[in-house]
Structure 1
């Protein structure tokens, strides 16, 4: 009986060795990937995070204690990074995200607050597009984003007494039906954003930050809505920067169909439904500065 089982045991052992070798090879391939940031968009993680309920319960983390990343690693994060590059900077995700087709990674970080010895526990979310490239970076708490990308000292002192100025623009009037780049914007849409940039420069003595958030209606897949809203926010921020607004203080976010302004019945894409949902297709721009 033992003699008969030996070939089977040998085959199992050989299979195990081959699998282990393959696993090590994949790990080395990922960890040795060239971290080339050329051509990738430098976008800090957004102050305008997804809704609180979109983040996992911290108690469900595989790494219950989280990790302490370097500020430099977080600042090196880019839109367009692959998962191998993310692993190099931040390590694997801290929650059980699944195996195949994973479009979201979550982390539990301890960041230095600079106030005594205590750390701030922060949750960080990455979302990936259909090509498995980063297309969104979000903090659960805005204060965590400010620990990585702090505003000027005077901004922190004045933040409590300043009221953000918020404006909204319908994306139908900026981009049309499917536009998402600066080149897709209508002449009237470009003029609106250019005039806004002129008003901002004229009315604010000093700017602390500008947050550009894109929204869509509820039609389409989650991936499509997130990508479209983020791309449009990025196009508007690019145009603001072209008009003289410091790109370093502009944050962008794409929140898809979250926080709708209009509730419209129906699931069939009719003209009536599209008209009803029009207020939800928008760009919101929040400006904070000294007037």
Structure 2
């Protein structure tokens, strides 16, 4: 059938309307796409038939939206617009998205609008209602699993009470020293399931050579460790080290030897440090 000139004119006009800026429901979109004189939202019921009721977007993909994307890239991420947007001169795309919060059956319906600049690059994004923008926020990172709370216990034993003078072997432990070590072993056995490590550290005073003091402090620490192990404290949990005259707890001025030895007594010690953790 041959169209009259009048029919042709009407057809062209209708086609132009369908392909032009009929999708720009907002008024006077800025050239740079940053805003519009008035944002106008299409009615949700006016979506195309295939988008009736809106869609449930992949939120992780939706969060990849950003300024500078072109229309093809956007369509690959979230699909084509849900309304009859037209083809030529269209500076606005509109969507209807549905969201569920967690395992809730409640569905929140949101409208999403994209404004483009004159080069058809996305520049600004809007939500209706505005609180729907929260879906663009990434979820908070999971709370860190609290590590077992570590605790430290420390027991200081005087070597003057533990050992005979200038001695270090098991046979040299005094009766009073055995009483102290028995009580300590009983305490450690009661805490055995919570113990991560036991460090036995020996110290001397500053009298004598560095080499001698180092050896003496090491041997006394090892002897205390062996005694505790013999009482049932797990040997694999126990370490021993000597630190000689390091880390003195008492500073004494030079004086008569007997008085100096008495003054330096607190430095002659064995310290048992216990690292424990919560069950």
- Interval of TM-score (by shorter of Structure 1 and Structure 2): 0.3 to 0.5
Which structure's residues are more often strand, by fraction?
2
* Structure with greater proportional helix content: 1
TM-score for both structures, normalised by structure 1: 0.44
TM-score (norm 2): 0.45
